[in-house]
Amino acid sequence: MATVTLTVKNFDEVAQAEGIVLVDFWAEWCGPCKRFAPVFERSAGKHDDITFAKVDTDAEPELSERFGIRSIPTLMAIRDGMIVFAEPGALPESVLENVIEQVRGLDMADVRRRAES
């Protein structure tokens, strides 16, 4: 599946859909972002049931500010409209795959209960 470009206009629509959305916050000038991009793309090719999306932090500074992005690349995982993971740094492929499996395995009823308390 091709990655989706997220903007202020479409972020909430994509992020609040059911299922998993992985968001890569990046910038063209960022070396670690360029090294992470092929890892992200390969993973997108393996997981048709996940939406892989990218936010260009230079083009979308409002989104960076909204989510407190201070370092790029930052990977954010959203499941069923809830942010369940956010971490800066270019992840190795094995770690990215591990994050995906952990996000898949979450008990979302439990996650919602914990978020409400």
Catalytic residues: 30, 33
Instruction: Tell me how far apart the alpha carbons of residues 67 and 45 are, in angstroms, rounded to a whole number.
Output: 26
Contacts of 37 (CB under 8 A, 6+ apart): 24, 26
Report whether 52 contacts 40 (CB < 8 A): yes
3-state secondary structure of 96: helix
Edge-to-edge order in the sheet of strand 4-5:
4-5, 50-56, 20-26, 74-79, 82-88
